[in-house]
Chains A and B, each alone.
Chain A
Amino acid sequence: MTASGTHGRWRWLMYLVLCLAVSFFLMPVYMMVVTALKDPAEISLDTAWQLPSVWNWASFADAWQAFLPKLRNSLILTVTASATSAMLGSLNGYVFAKWPFPGAKIVFALILFGMFIPYQAILIPLFGFIRAIGLYGTIWGLVVVHTVYGLPITTLIFRNYYTEIPDSLIEASALEGAGFFKIYRYVVFPLSLPGFVVVVIWQFTQIWNEFLFAVSLSNPASQPITVALAQLAGGEAVRWNLPMAGALLAALPTLLVYVVFGRYFVRGLLAGSVKG
């Protein structure tokens, strides 16, 4: 961006605003880390900003202990549901973008609407259904639920993404004799990486952090970590070091996903995923 780079006079202002923004964003993180490292007796309103006198790593150890058994559940749930909803979304998006059947527009709109329902409203019938199909209390019940409710957003993202692929590319393949699935496999799918990145990042974050379904549809053996995190902050006397440590640990995997895939994220958005 050559135009902007030459205005050296105001550059210091830009850095100043950026630094202010950074402090706004990092202030809570500082608070989290500092509180997590304090001994419970030291945590009080008056000394909130001060550094801990002794670095109490025990809260991280305790939180980790509470999490570890649930971590496996969360990983299985999130990875499976993200992958499944991404795959289905990709196929759906491909159909809606390249092979719209008569009435596809309306069907697409109806699917999309599913993204907007408040989940508390359908909790009771959902429970009855999951129980009726025998998946209550299992991780797979949650996988099904998250896959289904992830379909609208993944379909939307992929559909917008695939409309950027020129029709001529599709037609050329068709002329060479490729059918529906061959075109997907050899033309569309290889181009899909940024789309998958956007979808996986979104789904991973949503599912990893989701609480309502997690607490209602699981039993102790199949609970994800969001429920374990809530347990830390429960009870009548909340010792804030534990919930803070837990929150930090729980945020790490999603942050990891961001760090690893972050570069592709903006690129994926650029390709028109959620553009108007």
Chain B
Amino acid sequence: MRWRKHTNQIIGFLVVLPSILLIAVFVYGFIGRALWASLTDWGKDPSQALALNPVTRFIGLQNYRELFTGFIDGRFRQDMVSTVFFTVFFLAGCLLFGLLLAVLIDHKPRGEALFRGIFLFPFALSFVVTGTIWRWLLQPGGGVNALPTLVGLRPATFDWLTSRQQVWRFDWNDLPVIIGLLAALTLAAVAVVARRAQRRRRAVGFALASAAVLGLAVGVAPGWRPLPFPELHGFNLAFIGIIIAAVWQMAGYTMALYLAGLTGIPEELREAAVVEGANDWQLYTRIILPLMAPITLSAMIVLGHISLKIFDLVFAMAGPDNAWTDVPALLMFITTFRGNQFAKGAAIGMILLALVAMIIVPYLRSQLRKGVRE
């Protein structure tokens, strides 16, 4: 039978080959082109930017350096910070809300199918549609702000998408220290987990790494100032509206993922828990939630990559000119197609890609190490 297996594997390879070739061109080929473009000065010289055969010079990492330390590109830096905050809140919102809805529906209320349908339906809408509706809803003069008037209260006065407020501010120059501390914390957490799992050497290794990074963060980093002037960044409150709209759209999908997982839990497990005297709360927190971990991970991956690339929603809700709700994908679009800075736009795109890769690659590696799951 072995030759049969080999034959089938060869046939399998040939079947997958067209996809491989297509992906090679459409994904990696184009990424390569964009990467190359980001290392040139395409766009800086107007006489070459939109020429039929642009002549560009290779300038290495200068575009990237400008993005992170140049005076004019403060907007990009704020976009990076905004993305981090947005991702955290968006993920938290979808996961918590989705889990809550799934647990509620798991209790089999009457009209379960109707509830499920209502919660899932925003997922069927395009981000453009969602953005358009919520933009209308969040206009400071009406919509949501007028809701309290329906019960006789005074209207709310939050500026939503037009808000210029920013909280949790920090100076970009402190960023190396902040990152260092966060990295040290993460490494320490991994060390603790490894210790608990009895993997001594791993634990020690990570603990050492954590200490090293901590040393760097405290000792070396404060002297390293990326910018010659202070530049404050923080969480733009204008994002609150966008987060709400995004969660509205995706919480149902998360709920569906969790529901699928919940229905997959064997009845015997639940009954055993009840027999042992667990009440509802304990049943969920001790037994069911830990079983949902793989789903949470999958959901985080899907939601995370949506959040990093978010474009249509922000574009529809706030337009291309609202600096307070700007996100990297939008900035890339405007930089490329309105400012004609093709190389810089490509650089922003590459940075986005790197961010996504930082999340995806470890996930893929862990998946592959587990092999083909059965």
Contact = CB atoms under 8 A, between A and B. Distances in A.
A binds B: yes
A17 B29 CA distance: 50
A274 B257 contact: yes
Contact of A28 (B18, B134, B261): B134
Contact of A14 (B104, B125, B360): B104
Given A48-B146, A95-B12, A163-B372, A258 B120 contact: yes
A244 B109 contact: no
B143 A45 contact: yes
B142 A46 contact: yes
Given A3-B271, A25-B248, A276-B295, A121 B23 contact: no
Interface string B258-292: 01110110000011011000001001000000000
B96 interface: no
A233 interface: yes
Tell me the interface secondary structure of chain A in the complex: helix
Given A163-B374, A233-B132, A118 B353 contact: yes
B19 A250 contact: no
Contact of B16 (A92, A118, A166): A92
Interface in B73-123: 100-101, 104, 106-109, 113, 115-123
Contacts of B132: 233, 243-244, 247
B146 to A, nearest CB: 6
Question: Is the interface on chain B under 10, 10 to 19, 20 to 34, or 35 or more residues?
Answer: 35 or more
A24 B352 CA distance: 32
Given A148-B26, A149-B26, A121 B350 contact: yes
A208 B108 CA distance: 33
B128 interface: yes
26 contacts: A1-B106, A24-B248, A31-B136, A31-B143, A45-B139, A91-B15, A92-B15, A101-B10, A110-B23, A114-B28, A116-B353, A118-B311, A118-B349, A118-B356, A121-B31, A125-B34, A179-B11, A209-B125, A211-B128, A211-B312, A226-B126, A258-B121, A266-B256, A269-B259, A270-B260, A276-B294
Interface of B: 1, 4-5, 7-13, 15-16, 18-20, 22-23, 25-31, 33-34, 100-101, 104, 106-109, 113, 115-130, 132-134, 136-137, 139, 141-143, 146-147, 150, 248, 252, 256-257, 259-261, 263-264, 270-271, 273-274, 280, 283, 293-298, 302, 305, 308-309, 311-312, 329, 332-333, 336, 342, 345-346, 349-350, 352-353, 356-357, 360-361, 364-365, 368, 372-374
